[in-house]
Chain A
Amino acid sequence: MRSVLLRAGVILAAVVYCAALDAATLRFSSQGDITTIDPHANNEGFTTSYLDNIYEALVFRGKRMEVEPGLAVSWNRTSPTTMRFKLRPNVKFHDGTPFTADDVVFSVQRALADTSNYKPYLTGVKEARKVDDLTVDVITDGPAPVLVPQLTRIHIMSKAWCTKHNVTKPQDYKNKEETYAVRNANGTGPYILKSRQEDVRTVAVKNSNWWGKLDGNVDEMVYVPIKSDATRLAALISGEIDFVLDPPPQDIPRLKQDPKLKVVEGLENRTIFFGMDQARNELLYSNVKGKNPFKDKRVREAMQLALDLKAIQKQVLRGLGIPTAVMFAPQVDGYPKDLDHPKPPDRARAKKLIAEAGYPNGFEVTLDCPNNRYVADEKICVAAAAMWAQIGVTVKVNAMPRAIWGPKTQNRDTSMYMLGWGVPTFDSQYVLQSLMRTYIPNTADGDYNLGGYSNPQADALIDKQKTEVDPKKRAEIAYEVSKIHMQDFGHIPLHFQMIPWAMRSNVSVVHRADNFLTVKWVKVN
């Protein structure tokens, strides 16, 4: 017997939509629940991706991740600090009120509120101004070349609805009360939130008044979080759910063999790499006293030469990654294709370089590594440590959960660390500025350049890119900086991470590099 849920879904579908025979329910699952329904409160990847089916942004991502019109039909720059958006006419919120410029002005203001977690996507934005009912100017304090892609993550809420329910600001956690928007939604999107039971089930149904046309046939989406990996897969195999967003990598080969299931793999736009503290005069976690081996470029080069990326890809990742020599993935604008040729390992040369740098007997260092953040993260660290041991460098792997690894490395309390960098804007500036620019506290400059890599030549180029609006010139800068960074061995790039999705074989989806499941594109046969 298949689950009662499925039957109920089928009966419901049959009763309600007798005309549309192919209407279907999609039951999908991942490890954790949506954390809130408020689209500006908790900037967590899965939460944002779920809400993207209910709320919409001015700008969308298309099936190949290209930027395309959403609630805005067109945009153009009217001055260096002003971007003018023409809004889509005849769009209605789920409660029937029309969508206008006031809602955009309000939503930008709400996303900029001090309790909002979405401010990073509005860097440089000062405000939005209404021009007429269907025209809005977004004012920035500089040329803001990545404004448009950033706006794909800012969902538009109804001003009237928020005012009515007293949720004109995202939830304040200091306040002891939950706000209305935490469990209720009123978007413009293709799906309408119907019911919400935390950690149990969240149901949304098709918005028959949606302005667009569905590419799929899902008229009801049921999200059920299942924390235990084994149970989640059991539910998929037994047919209680149709789709799993995060199947554990070690089970992928087995899932592929099951004829009832299929696995869709796609490249995430995330680069996994190691970083080394090259700023301090003495490493915090090493047996070398009085000097810092990573300050020597030869040591950094040796560390890279010791690694066999193909072996890691094959043995540890089981194919869920593509080795790389650069710091950003092919989907990112400005990806330096010519530079992306990972070097084969050369341990003899690595040993020689280490000896030349003054460490003929090697040295010891601790590597801070997450164990629940990236695909096979801890295993990669352990494998790399074994490779470094072959050139005489003893690397102690300090593996820890995300909630501890995150703050430790972000406080720069580390000598060596693993990090994965995803690019929500799909623009190179996001990589260059955060990872390769010299660190300036309390700015976005080098905020994740945790090892303190610094090259004035690169800095000058990156600063130039911040205000450059010509895509071609931006790509040229990305290329130049990547080259400098590569010659400096600023980081040790490992691979682009692949993300597998598992589903029943009758489900077809469009895989997205940002790990968003876009239900309007899903077909269930």
Chain B
Amino acid sequence: MIVMLVVGFIAFSLFNFVGDPVSLMLPPEATQADRDAMRQLLGLDRPFYVQFVTFLENALHGNFGISLRLGRPVSALIAERLPATLELALTATIFALAVGIPVGVYTALRRDSWVSRAMLTTSLIGVSLPNFLIGIFLILIFAVWLGLLPSFGRGDTTQLGFWSTGLLTKSGLKALLLPAITLGFYPVTLVMRLVRAEMLEVLRTDYIKFARARGLSSRAVNFGHALKNTLIPVITVIGLQVGAIIAFAIITETVFQWPGMGLLFIQAVQFADIPVMAAYLCLIGFIFVIINLVVDLLYYLVDPRLRVERMAAAGALR
């Protein structure tokens, strides 16, 4: 709650620096009187704290006002864009896990093979290359040179109730590929390096040695015992990454003209569309708070030690 308030306040105070929406809404030939009238109409002439309190009041009622750029309610705009961002973020996360975990395991088990070395070098590139550059490279290769995939947009979408999905059409799936890979590139390398490091650690422990001594197949040892124990920190990190993926989708969405919340936000910034910016920042703040909460709970669920400690504490109290 306090976090949300602080996010709201910081977001709101930033808006004094993004510029004056009125100068973009009116043509240069508008007179000063026209501009003053517009400012008054938008409530921008009132002091900062009054604007903030009004904003909070309305936000609590789920009312974020009208977008100055598009003239539509902000809540409706966000509801329209949220599915696109979530589908993209989810696909990117699945991509990160589906590629990151196997590669991580492989590089841990075959530490010295040249494939592992090549993978590790590639992952370095993934960590250091900025997101938009990867996106532009992918567009250049798959859209311009090969002409296989679309360079922008979301393809055809299907409406399922309030949710618009691109997962059910061929063009929607094709359009999803490049942005999801771009957005998932960094998490892939992160997961892979994390899994590798954890695996190496776990493989050195006594119970793995013992398992091997018991004559278990190396498959059972590696996947049944070692990998399972590796996944605990991976879940934590991925959980936190989902928030980051949603928040950093701004860049990927801009490069691919993906009609999600990030694109909405970046255009709002350019237009000084204050209602949209405020709502977006609050929503992202909210998502982070929720994700942190869920991760804490998950951690507790996955790691038996935490439960034991708590029981012990409860026992001590008794």
Chain A interface residues (CB < 8 Å from chain B): 1-5, 32-33, 35-36, 38, 41-45, 114-115, 117, 119-120, 171-179, 182-183, 197-201, 224-228, 230-232, 234-235, 237-240, 372, 401-404, 406-407, 410, 421-422, 424, 430, 434, 441-444, 447-448
> Given the interface contacts A1-B147, A231-B152, does A119 sit within 8 Å of B19 by beta carbon?
no
User: Shortest distance in angstroms between A222's beta carbon and chain B's nearest beta carbon?
Assistant: 11
- Residue contact B73 to A114, C-beta cutoff 8 Å: no
- Residue contact A4 to B19, C-beta cutoff 8 Å: no
Chain B residues with Cβ below 8 Å from A430 are 29
Chain B interface residues (CB < 8 Å from chain A): 17-35, 37-38, 41-43, 63, 65-66, 68-73, 76-77, 80, 132, 136, 139-140, 143-144, 147-148, 150-156, 170-171, 174, 254-257, 259, 263-264, 266-267, 270-272
CA distance A342 to B200 in the complex (A): 73
> Given the interface contacts A3-B150, A238-B144, does A442 sit within 8 Å of B66 by beta carbon?
no
CA distance A434 to B28 in the complex (A): 10
Chain B residues with Cβ below 8 Å from A182 are 70-72
Chain A residues with Cβ below 8 Å from B144 are 234, 237-238
Given A182-B70, A444-B31; 5 other pairs, CB 8 A cutoff: A231-B136, A234-B139, A234-B152, A401-B19, A403-B272
User: Shortest distance in angstroms between A65's beta carbon and chain B's nearest beta carbon?
Assistant: 18
User: Shortest distance in angstroms between B129's beta carbon and chain A's nearest beta carbon?
Assistant: 15
- Residue contact B151 to A238, C-beta cutoff 8 Å: yes
- Residue contact A448 to B28, C-beta cutoff 8 Å: yes
- Residue contact B263 to A199, C-beta cutoff 8 Å: yes
- Residue contact A406 to B20, C-beta cutoff 8 Å: yes
Contact of A117 among B17, B25, B170, B257 (CB under 8 A): B25
- Classify the interface of chain A: helix, strand, loop or mixed: loop
Chain A residues with Cβ below 8 Å from B76 are 178
- Residue contact B29 to A434, C-beta cutoff 8 Å: yes
Q: Indicate the member of A171, A177, A197, A447 with the most B CB atoms within 10 Å.
A: A447
- Residue contact B259 to A197, C-beta cutoff 8 Å: yes
Closest chain B residue to A48 by CB distance?
Answer: B27
Tell me the total A-B contact number using a CB cutoff of 8 A. 185
Closest chain B residue to A239 by CB distance?
Answer: B147
Closest 3 CB pairs of A and B: A403-B19, A406-B23, A407-B20
> Given the interface contacts A227-B254, A230-B136, does A442 sit within 8 Å of B155 by beta carbon?
no
User: Shortest distance in angstroms between A515's beta carbon and chain B's nearest beta carbon?
Assistant: 13
- Residue contact A42 to B23, C-beta cutoff 8 Å: no
Q: Indicate the member of A45, A172, A173 with the most B CB atoms within 10 Å.
A: A173
- Residue contact A443 to B31, C-beta cutoff 8 Å: yes
CA distance A328 to B272 in the complex (A): 31
- Residue contact A230 to B257, C-beta cutoff 8 Å: no
> Given the interface contacts A115-B41, A173-B42, does A199 sit within 8 Å of B23 by beta carbon?
no
- Residue contact B148 to A1, C-beta cutoff 8 Å: yes
Chain A residues with Cβ below 8 Å from B170 are 4
Chain B residues with Cβ below 8 Å from A406 are 19-20, 23-24
Chain B residues with Cβ below 8 Å from A42 are 25, 71
Chain A residues with Cβ below 8 Å from B25 are 42-44, 117
Chain B residues with Cβ below 8 Å from A441 are 32
Contact of A176 among B27, B34, B66 (CB under 8 A): B66
> Given the interface contacts A227-B266, A228-B255, A234-B151, does A174 sit within 8 Å of B63 by beta carbon?
no
- Residue contact B71 to A174, C-beta cutoff 8 Å: no
CA distance A234 to B17 in the complex (A): 33
Contact of B270 among A5, A183, A226, A403 (CB under 8 A): A403
Chain B residues with Cβ below 8 Å from A239 are 147
Contact of B72 among A119, A198, A234, A447 (CB under 8 A): A198
User: Shortest distance in angstroms between B198's beta carbon and chain A's nearest beta carbon?
Assistant: 37
Contact of A407 among B19, B42, B156, B259 (CB under 8 A): B19
User: Shortest distance in angstroms between A297's beta carbon and chain B's nearest beta carbon?
Assistant: 27
- Residue contact A175 to B27, C-beta cutoff 8 Å: no
CA distance A197 to B263 in the complex (A): 14
User: Shortest distance in angstroms between A55's beta carbon and chain B's nearest beta carbon?
Assistant: 16
Chain B residues with Cβ below 8 Å from A38 are 71
CA distance A198 to B143 in the complex (A): 24
- Residue contact A120 to B23, C-beta cutoff 8 Å: no
- Residue contact B63 to A176, C-beta cutoff 8 Å: yes
User: Shortest distance in angstroms between A223's beta carbon and chain B's nearest beta carbon?
Assistant: 12
User: Shortest distance in angstroms between A47's beta carbon and chain B's nearest beta carbon?
Assistant: 10
Chain B residues with Cβ below 8 Å from A200 are 153-154, 259
User: Shortest distance in angstroms between A236's beta carbon and chain B's nearest beta carbon?
Assistant: 9
Chain B residues with Cβ below 8 Å from A115 are 41
Q: Indicate the member of A232, A372, A403, A442 with the most B CB atoms within 10 Å.
A: A403
- Residue contact A33 to B23, C-beta cutoff 8 Å: no
Chain A residues with Cβ below 8 Å from B72 are 178, 182-183, 198
User: Shortest distance in angstroms between B5's beta carbon and chain A's nearest beta carbon?
Assistant: 23
Chain A residues with Cβ below 8 Å from B254 are 227-228
Contact of B259 among A199, A402, A421 (CB under 8 A): A199
Chain B residues with Cβ below 8 Å from A225 are 257
- Residue contact A4 to B171, C-beta cutoff 8 Å: yes
CA distance A239 to B148 in the complex (A): 12
User: Shortest distance in angstroms between B37's beta carbon and chain A's nearest beta carbon?
Assistant: 7
CA distance A443 to B30 in the complex (A): 10
- Residue contact B63 to A33, C-beta cutoff 8 Å: no
CA distance A117 to B254 in the complex (A): 29
- Residue contact A240 to B143, C-beta cutoff 8 Å: yes
- Residue contact B263 to A227, C-beta cutoff 8 Å: yes
- Residue contact A120 to B30, C-beta cutoff 8 Å: yes
Contact of B256 among A35, A174, A197, A231 (CB under 8 A): A231
User: Shortest distance in angstroms between A114's beta carbon and chain B's nearest beta carbon?
Assistant: 7
CA distance A422 to B271 in the complex (A): 21
- Residue contact A36 to B151, C-beta cutoff 8 Å: no
Closest chain B residue to A420 by CB distance?
Answer: B28
Chain A residues with Cβ below 8 Å from B266 are 227
Chain A residues with Cβ below 8 Å from B34 are 119-120
- Residue contact A231 to B255, C-beta cutoff 8 Å: yes
Contact of A240 among B41, B136, B150 (CB under 8 A): B150
Chain A residues with Cβ below 8 Å from B20 are 403-404, 406-407
CA distance A240 to B142 in the complex (A): 13
Chain B residues with Cβ below 8 Å from A43 are 25-27, 30
Chain B residues with Cβ below 8 Å from A41 are 71
User: Shortest distance in angstroms between B33's beta carbon and chain A's nearest beta carbon?
Assistant: 5
Closest chain B residue to A441 by CB distance?
Answer: B32
Chain B residues with Cβ below 8 Å from A2 are 147
Chain B residues with Cβ below 8 Å from A447 are 29, 31-32
- Residue contact B73 to A44, C-beta cutoff 8 Å: no
CA distance A226 to B266 in the complex (A): 12
CA distance A313 to B174 in the complex (A): 44
- Residue contact A199 to B63, C-beta cutoff 8 Å: no
CA distance A407 to B264 in the complex (A): 24
User: Shortest distance in angstroms between A389's beta carbon and chain B's nearest beta carbon?
Assistant: 30
- What are 20 residue pairs bridging A and B, where the CB atoms are less than 8 Å apart in the complex? A3-B150, A4-B150, A4-B171, A35-B69, A41-B71, A42-B25, A42-B71, A172-B41, A177-B66, A198-B70, A198-B80, A200-B154, A234-B140, A235-B152, A372-B270, A403-B24, A443-B31, A444-B31, A447-B29, A448-B28
